[in-house]
Amino acid sequence: MTFIQHPDRRLATRFEKALKVRFSVNGGPEQSSDTINFTARSVAIRSDWPVKKNDRIIAFVDDLPEIRGSVIRVFDEGFAMCLNDSSLALIAHAGAEFPELHGDASADDNDARILSPVFRADAPAPAWGQITTVRNEGSDTAKHFLSVVTTGAVDVNDIHNVWISIENSRWTARVIQARRENNQAMIVVILNEWQLRMAAKHGLTVTLLSSRLREWRAHLHQEPISEHLAAIAPLPPTPVAGDSLARALSA
């Protein structure tokens, strides 16, 4: 079994747990209820309040950040809403583990997901990368996830920090999953639009820093990233800061 895969959405993991939730529909009065189940991309809320598909929902689960989304399904017991990035906090709060966190685990079939081919990375031990792009229904924006898998001796429980480096720039990565199974370590991070476009030009390096300040690096070349960027086109052009200056200096 490899971590980098394209799971069927219909087989996506659902986590059954009742959490107290407060929500409003289209800015209306606040309602109190509980959750029925959730995945990494949607949550089902028990309710007899009248809702319809595409209604706007603002929800609060315990002390988590507010969750904003829209209704994607209505059923007898309530409704399901798509989740923003706060869904990751919801999953962590409930203690669930999802192997599909780098992709779209929603039961709704209207979201588009494009996966790059698996490609080799330069690292001390065999390593591979894959990029997943998810575009939600009714939105012009896309989310990009980078998965890196290695057979190297990476202790995922001792990762102190993760960096993404492109050319002379470095960012602290937002990690949504780190796990080890079947002698493979996997880490999944979020790439923003600017980082993806820069990586398509220059490649990128992922650095794992342990609590003992030991570094493990994997470099991903630009060619497969550039091919993925072409595959998900058309996306709105994103200006890259410094490009015009760099061209002027190299002229």
Give yes or no: residues 89 and 119 share one domain. Answer: no
Please state, in angstroms and as integers, the Cα–Cα distance from residue 73 to each residue in 38, 110, 132, 161, 246, following that order.
13, 11, 24, 38, 49
Asked if 40 and 144 sit in the same domain, the reply is no
How many CB atoms are located within 10 Å of the residue 224 CB? 21
- Is a pLDDT exceeding 60 seen at residue 92? no
Among 63, 94, 125, the domain boundary falls at: 94
Q: 241 — phi, psi (to 5°)?
A: -60, 130
| pLDDT at residue 69 is higher than 70 | yes
Residues of the domain holding 181: 112-234
Kindly report the CATH number assigned to the domain that includes residue 224.
Answer: 2.60.40
Whether residue 228 contacts residue 131, with contact meaning beta carbons closer than 8 Å, is answered with yes
Q: Which of 94, 123, 150 is the last residue of a domain?
A: 94
Count of structural domains within the chain: 2
Measured in whole angstroms, the distance separating CA 29 from the mean position of its chain's CA atoms is 31
Who contacts 71 (Cβ-Cβ below 8 Å, separation ≥6)? 51, 52, 53, 54, 55, 57, 79, 80, 81
Question: Do 140 and 77 share a structural domain?
Answer: no
Write down the pTM of the prediction.
0.52
In the prediction, which pLDDT does 140 show? 65
% of the chain surpassing 70 pLDDT: 71
Q: Who contacts 214 (Cβ-Cβ below 8 Å, separation ≥6)?
A: none
Q: For the chain, what is the mean pLDDT?
A: 77
Q: What is the share, in percent, of the chain residues with pLDDT greater than 90?
A: 30
Same domain, 183 and 219: yes
Per-residue model confidence (pLDDT) at position 132: 87
pLDDT: which is higher, 25 or 113: 25
Return the bridge partners of 24, or none.
58
Q: Does one domain contain both 72 and 130?
A: no
pLDDT at site 13: 54
Give the C-alpha separation, 157 to 177, whole Å. Answer: 11
- Higher pLDDT: 155 or 108? It is 155
The predicted structure's pLDDT at residue 63 = 66
My answer on whether 132 and 229 are in the same domain is yes
Residue that wins the pLDDT comparison between 54 and 62: 54
CA angle 88, 235, 10 (to 5 degrees): 45
Q: For tokens 């315990």, what's the residue? A: 62
User: Which pLDDT score is estimated for 138?
Assistant: 61
What pLDDT, on the 0 to 100 scale, is given for residue 51? 95
pLDDT exceeds cutoff 80 at 183: no
The whole-angstrom separation of Cα 207 and Cα 31 is: 45
Position 40 scores a pLDDT of 60
Predicted pLDDT of residue 91: 55
Domain containing 90 — which CATH number?
2.40.10.220
Note whether residue 105 is domain-resident.
no
